Amino acid sequence: MGVACTAALAALTAGSAQATTRAPHWVLKDTGTPDVRFRGLAAVDRNTAWLAGTGGTVLRTTDGGTNWRNVSPPGAGDLQFRDVEAFDARRAVVLAIGEGEASRVYRTDDGGRTWTESFRNTDPAAFYDCMAFFDRRHGLAMSDPVDGKFRILSTSDGGRSWRVLPADGMPAALDGEAGFAASGQCLVTSGPEDAWLATGGGAHARVLHSTDRGLTWTAADTPVPAGDPAKGVFALAFRDRTHGLAVGGDYRAGQASPQAAAVTPDGGRSWRPAATPPPAYRSGAAWLPHSRTTALAVGPTGTDLTTDGGRTWRTLDTGSYDTVTCTPDLSCWASGEQGRAARLEN
């Protein structure tokens, strides 16, 4: 990302006048895949990132997006990858979504040269949406409700094997409630044991929180509008186990999305609406590393920035992106439709 962009991000975080003249912006990185929509994104640092999308497509770059290598699993052309979690340039796990056996998990240990299918859903009632890891070994994946409760998969060996967790500790789902496989961010983690999942479609858009790696959960309503299959919380971002953001709205093009963002100061026990939310539906969110106040939200109609912990948002860019992530070395990436991948630069 460079020293200049790092300085610009610091200026944005501080709210200084420098931010108005040196504001960072997305720079597209040609993936050579204009027909693929990349809702799955995992960045390791400013050089290495993984993309996962439609048509069973997985790409990887190790030079900051100048070149992308197609490392798609063989025979996966009919699958829709919606999430990818990468541990480094060689090791990654991807999630395919869909009903029944369309929901699958693959893992690579050699940069995508070979893949192992580590999970294939055999329950026709399950539909997996998102995946998240606490560390290199422990992770979870979530399915829409089965028999009235969200279903959770767990791995303790880096995604090489998975097991369905007991449903005893999961609250009952609301009528019509589900997750959104829009950005790989409907399930997120912070620290060694805390996880949160986002919902919509029911009477209320909720966030469920687990403090024991998915064994038990508590639910809290958010002010993000729901009550319709197209409305709810689409993405979460936690900078620690206490402070979090929720973004969403109505994903249908042209539909208004008032109160499309919310914040929590207490680990998701309570949520309050953003005073000035993003102007439209947003599907992805990410905190800037080493910042207590600055975060990005993205969606089909643009990117928004907050410098006050999610209370107010302002538009930074009007390009279409589905998901966003930032890395410890102050690199931020986004991806979306028409093969779009970009890195924040100045």
Between 7-11, 29-33, 37-41, 278-282, the lowest mean confidence (pLDDT) is in 7-11
Distance CA 335, CA 339 (A): 8
The angle formed by the CA atoms of residues 6, 320 and 83, to the nearest 5 degrees, is 80
Overall number of domains in the chain: 1
Distance CA 25, CA 346 (A): 6
| Mean pLDDT for the stretch of residues 197-204 | 98
The string over 64-94, giving b where at least 16 C-beta atoms fall within 10 Å of a residue's C-beta and e elsewhere, is bbeebeebbbeebeebbbbbbbbbebbbbbb
pLDDT tens digits, residue range 72-96? 999 999 999 999 999 999 999 999 9
Residue 346 is predicted with a pLDDT of: 80
Question: Band of the pLDDT at 59, cuts 50, 70, 90?
Answer: very high
Judged against a pLDDT cut of 70, whether residue 4 lies above it is answered with: no
Higher pLDDT, 239 or 19: 239
Distance CA 260, CA 278 (A): 6
Task: Find all residues with CB under 8 Å of 239, minimum gap 6, and list them.
Answer: 190, 287, 291, 292, 295
Which residue range(s) make up the domain with 140? 2-345
Residue 204 is predicted with a pLDDT of: 97
Residue 18 is predicted with a pLDDT of: 46
pLDDT tens digits, residue range 286-344? 999 999 999 999 999 999 999 999 999 999 999 999 999 999 999 999 999 999 999 99
Distance CA 326, CA 111 (A): 21
Q: What is the number of other CB atoms lying within 10 angstroms of the CB of residue 51?
A: 31
Q: What is the pTM of this model?
A: 0.94
| Mean pLDDT for the stretch of residues 224-244 | 97
Judged against a pLDDT cut of 50, whether residue 16 lies above it is answered with: no
Task: CATH number of the domain at 236, please.
Answer: 2.130.10.10
Residue 24 is predicted with a pLDDT of: 81
Distance CA 25, CA 323 (A): 15
Phi, psi of 345 (to 5 degrees): -140, 175
Question: Band of the pLDDT at 17, cuts 50, 70, 90?
Answer: very low
Distance CA 234, CA 248 (A): 5
